Amino acid sequence: MELTPKSLEDTEDRANIAVSSRDYTFREAGDHDFRGIEALFEQKGKGRGWAVWKYRKNPDGRARVFIVEDPGKTIVGTLAYLPRRFAIAGRGTLTVMQVVDIFLTAELRENRVFLGLLEFGRRHIREARIGVPNQFSSIFGSGPGWRVLGYYETWQFPVLIGGLLVGGTYAFAAPLLNVLSRIYLSAWLPGKHRDLEMRQISRFCRDYALDSAVNHGVRSADYLNWRFVDNPIGNYQVYEFVEKNETVGYCVFTRSDSTAKLSEFVATRRRRGCMRRLIEHCRETEFARISYSGTGLRLGSLGFIRHGYRHDCVAYKLPEGQWFVTGCDIDSEPGRTPLASGQAP
């Protein structure tokens, strides 16, 4: 069954009957509920100590968190709406809410409690929303007012592709593939760019302005530090690109086996040179490939190859125009697909 706002309204009475017969309670969570929410997510291997950071310390605003309690007042389900501030071309900024952290205990995942939780959250959130850019986008982002902003795609660059064969049947071909990877880099991004440095930083000290003609998340230093540096869940590596002591961009990535999972790449100028320096760094640190996901990335001209499935990046009551959406803007942490915690349980 497709969960459109219309279908949710049609099932509302039945959901309420099912919920009331079991004495489940829906309500908005307070800070005192966070320990119970974290305990719920421990079932998925997620540790503790992240809820206050995520729901209360976001510089773009406080999250709205909703929970389900069983008759014994134990939290058995939750979902949250996380705010993100976007710069809209020619129209200032707009705060957009994103549904995250949808989770119910196993015994409730197939009954009306799940529908009731979605409906309860929907009633309380009237702001513009960005949906789930994965295979569940049609469930969480369809109906009147929703539309597709663009495709959320994954792109990859072969850094030392032979590294993927180490220890395997075809390991003998690894040296040749690594040579081909170097030739591939030189063909797409020629030049040494020795005047560009890539420096690791401990914190962001400046804001970054992106293309004003494209709708994008605001990259303030406070937000970037909250999202990547102070994040208790992800182990991010953060670098800035420096030309003659002037910062011209930055990148954020994590290691996943032999893959550099790029969460963010921004260059205010010399984009090709900055990307070349990043790829050279990944080669020196023995990454086999770079993987970067988002909407509006425009990576084909840099030698990246689209990989895997593309999913709709959907939104509710957001303006038209070109959109740039990356892991900086959505609930995506290393080792998970985008918004995995917001997937249908």
Kindly report the CATH number assigned to the domain that includes residue 83.
3.40.630.30
pLDDT, the chain, mean: 85
Record the tokens describing residue 278, joined without a space: 């990043």
User: Do 156 and 86 reside in the same domain of the chain?
Assistant: no
Residues 171 and 289 in one domain: yes
Q: Mean of the pLDDT values across residues 252-267?
A: 95
Mark whether 159 and 129 lie in a shared domain. Answer: no
CA 67 to chain centre: 22
Looking at the 3D structure of the chain, how many domains does it have? Answer: 2
Examine residue 283 and state whether it is found in any structural domain, yes or no.
Answer: yes
State the pLDDT at residue 107.
75
**CA-CA distance, 316 to 128, in Å (whole number)?**
5
pLDDT of residue 163: 76
Higher pLDDT pick, 184 / 143: 184
Range in 77-91, 99-113, 149-163, 193-207 the model is least confident about: 99-113
Q: Is the pLDDT of residue 224 over 90?
A: yes
The H-or-E segment that residue 246 falls in is: strand 246-256
The secondary structure of 299-343 as a DSSP string is -GGGT-EEEEEEEEEEEESPPSS-EEEETTTSS--TTS-TTGGGS
- 160 and 28 in one domain? no
Read off the pLDDT of residues 277-309 as tens digits, 9 standing for 90 and up: 999 999 999 999 999 999 999 999 999 999 988
Name the domain boundary from 115, 150, 185.
150
CATH of residue 213's domain is 3.40.630
Statement: residue 26 has pLDDT above 70: yes
Q: How would residue 171 be classed by pLDDT, with cut points 50, 70 and 90? A: confident
Residue 226 CA to residue 220 CA, distance in Å, equals 10
Does residue 330 lie in a domain region?
A: no
pLDDT in tens, 115-125: 888 888 888 99
The reply to whether 338 falls in a domain is no
Same domain, 179 and 38: no
The C-alpha angle 96, 291, 128, rounded to 5 degrees, equals: 10
> Among 167, 165, 161, 192, which residue's Cα sits nearest to residue 179?
161
In this prediction, residue 333 carries a pLDDT of: 66
* DSSP per residue, 125-178: --S-EE---STTHHHHS-STTEEEEEEEEEEEEESSGGGGGTTSTTGGGHHHHH
The two structure tokens encoding residue 201: 């930083």
Instruction: Quote the domain boundaries for residue 103.
Output: 5-150
76 lies in the same domain as 215:
no
How many angstroms separate the CA atoms of 134 and 84, rounded? 19
At 340 the pLDDT is 39
Whole-angstrom distance, CA of residue 100 vs CA of residue 86: 17
CA distance 33 to 19: 21
Residue 119 tokens read as: 């409906």
Both 22 and 140 in one domain: the answer is yes
Q: Are residues 166 and 276 in the same domain?
A: yes
The reply to whether 107 and 165 lie within a common domain is no
For position 198, what pLDDT does the model report? 96
User: Can you tell me whether residue 62 is helix, strand or coil?
Assistant: coil
* pLDDT tops 50 at residue 71: yes
Query: Is the pLDDT at 87 greater than 70, yes or no?
Result: yes
Contact by Cβ (8 Å): 243, 306: no
- Closest CA relative to residue 105, chosen from 40, 18, 20: 40
Distance of CA 195 to the CA centre of its chain: 32
Q: Looking at the structure, do residues 182 and 215 belong to the same domain, yes or no?
A: yes
Average pLDDT estimate for 229-255: 95
Specify if 41 maps to a domain: yes
Instruction: Decide if 274 is inside a domain.
Output: yes
Please give the pLDDT value at position 28: 96
- Domain presence at residue 323: no
**Domain boundary residue among 150, 179, 211?**
150
Instruction: Give the pLDDT score at 237.
Output: 96
Mean pLDDT of 209-221: 94
Residue 333 maps to a domain: no
1 pLDDT above the threshold of 60? no
Q: Is residue 343 part of a domain?
A: no
284 in the same domain as 263 = yes
Identify the domain boundary among 116, 150, 184.
150
In degrees to the nearest 10, what's the CA dihedral of 341, 342, 344, 345? Answer: 40
The answer to whether residue 44 scores a pLDDT higher than 90 is no
Give pLDDT, residue 17. 37
Task: Tell me what pLDDT residue 118 has.
Answer: 84
- State yes or no: pLDDT of 139 exceeds 80: no
Task: Show the tokens assigned to 75.
Answer: 């939290």
| pLDDT interval class at 321 (50, 70, 90) | very high
More confident residue, 45 or 8: 45
Same domain for 202 and 105, yes or no, is no
At 149-167, the pLDDT tens digits run: 888 999 999 999 887 776 6
